């Protein structure tokens, strides 16, 4: 029996576990890549409930924010989209364009330039360092050095060119998505793509059960001890903020709680502003 005021053993991902989840290499074609994208978006969109993630559409994107009404509480939410969340949304948008045969001419030119530059980088790595495989990892490390300003003077020009194209692509996709979402009503994720009309409660619960099964597989794949469940995104988001000395009122606002009492009960068991700044800071911790 659990009494109303009894303390609960709250479970949340640690920073180390979240880093492991973000950095684990999962091929794009692997089904768990899709599962990870969903769960990471839950965390970095302010601990969004899976019932809301399921119903999220490109039309919910309003500039730099996602605006939606919570399925459970009917509360209006305005969530700032941090860099990590944007990257996943862009990936989902690219998949949507492929499925719908949507051509983005200017972006396709940049994508081809990027592909060609990566081929040049592979040849460079073969000739200069005798590297014969694992090019993506090496290139990624070089790009991270540029982003984090680590020994930039030692990074070869070809990698700086790739970095610049990636930046252009990121902002180009953001610009296109912001325009495109004014008329598009497609779902961002694939939970409800084949559902006609407004999804029913039973459908949402059924999709959530299947999603939780996929999260268990993702947990094993990434070697994470904490059991992955859809609701873990909310406790993890709150815990990470609390451990970063964000005050309880700001956390309560970010989670969309109706009062501090709910948040305080929610945070019971954890170790001991503005939501835009919160989301940026959290994203930068793992970028």
Neighbours of 187 (CB within 10 A): 21
Q: What is the pLDDT of residues 73-106, one digit of tens each?
A: 898 999 999 999 999 999 999 999 999 999 999 9
Of the pLDDT bands very low, low, confident and very high (cuts 50, 70, 90), residue 181 is confident
Model pLDDT, residue 246: 66
Q: Long-range contacts of range 104-110, CB-CB < 8 Å, 24 or more positions apart?
A: 104/176, 106/172, 107/169, 107/172, 107/173, 107/176, 110/165, 110/168, 110/169, 110/172
- 8-22, 232-246, 263-277: the lowest-pLDDT one: 263-277
Q: Alpha-carbon torsion 121, 124, 129, 131, what sign?
A: positive
Model pLDDT, residue 1: 37
Q: Residue written as tokens 């709150």?
A: 238
pLDDT: which is higher, 41 or 12: 41
Nearest alpha-carbon partner for 58 in 170, 167, 193: 193
Model pLDDT, residue 264: 61
Model pLDDT, residue 271: 45
Residues 223, 10: Cα–Cα separation, whole Å? 21
Of the pLDDT bands very low, low, confident and very high (cuts 50, 70, 90), residue 220 is very high
Q: Residue written as tokens 């004014």?
A: 182
pLDDT: which is higher, 242 or 54: 54
Q: pTM of the predicted model, to two decimals?
A: 0.85
Residues 11, 7: Cα–Cα separation, whole Å? 12
Q: How many residues does the chain have?
A: 287
Q: Identify each DSSP E strand in the chain by its residue range.
A: 61-62, 65-69, 76-80
- DSSP state, residue 74: -
Contacts (Cβ under 8 Å, ≥6 apart) of 165:
110, 113, 114, 117
Q: Supply the mean pLDDT for the chain.
A: 87
Q: Find the helix or strand (DSSP H, E) in which 276 lies.
A: helix 275-286
Q: Residue 3 pLDDT more than 50?
A: no
Q: Residue 59 pLDDT more than 80?
A: yes
SS3 assignment, position 57: strand
- 63-67, 177-181, 271-275: the lowest-pLDDT one: 271-275
Residues 127, 13: Cα–Cα separation, whole Å? 42
Percent of the chain with pLDDT over 90: 60
SS3 assignment, position 242: helix
């Amino acid at each position: 029996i659990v009494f109303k005021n009894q303390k609960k053993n709250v479970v949340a991902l640690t920073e180390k576990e979240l880093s492991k989840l973000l950095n684990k290499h999962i091929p794009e074609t692997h089904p768990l890549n899709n599962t990870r994208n969903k769960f990471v978006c839950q965390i970095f969109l302010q601990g969004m409930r899976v019932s809301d993630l399921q119903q999220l559409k490109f039309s919910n994107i309003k500039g730099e924010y996602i605006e939606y009404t919570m399925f459970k509480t009917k509360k209006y939410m305005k969530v700032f989209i941090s860099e990590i969340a944007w990257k996943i949304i862009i990936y989902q948008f690219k998949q949507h364009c492929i499925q719908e045969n949507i051509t983005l001419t200017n972006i396709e030119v940049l994508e081809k330039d990027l592909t060609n530059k990566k081929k040049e980088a592979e040849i460079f790595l073969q000739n200069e360092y005798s590297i014969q495989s694992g090019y993506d990892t090496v290139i990624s490390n070089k790009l991270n050095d540029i982003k984090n300003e680590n020994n930039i003077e030692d990074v070869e020009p070809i990698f700086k060119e790739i970095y610049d194209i990636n930046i252009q692509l990121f902002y180009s996709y953001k610009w296109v998505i912001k325009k495109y979402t004014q008329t598009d009503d497609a779902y961002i994720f694939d939970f409800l793509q084949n559902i006609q009309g407004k999804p029913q409660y039973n459908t949402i619960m059924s999709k959530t059960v299947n999603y939780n099964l996929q999260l268990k597989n993702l947990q094993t794949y990434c070697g994470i001890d904490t059991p992955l469940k859809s609701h873990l995104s909310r406790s993890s988001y709150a815990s990470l903020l609390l451990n970063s000395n964000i005050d309880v009122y700001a956390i309560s606002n970010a989670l969309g709680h109706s009062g501090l009492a709910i948040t305080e009960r929610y945070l019971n068991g954890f170790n001991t502003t503005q939501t835009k700044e919160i989301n940026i800071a959290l994203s930068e911790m793992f970028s």
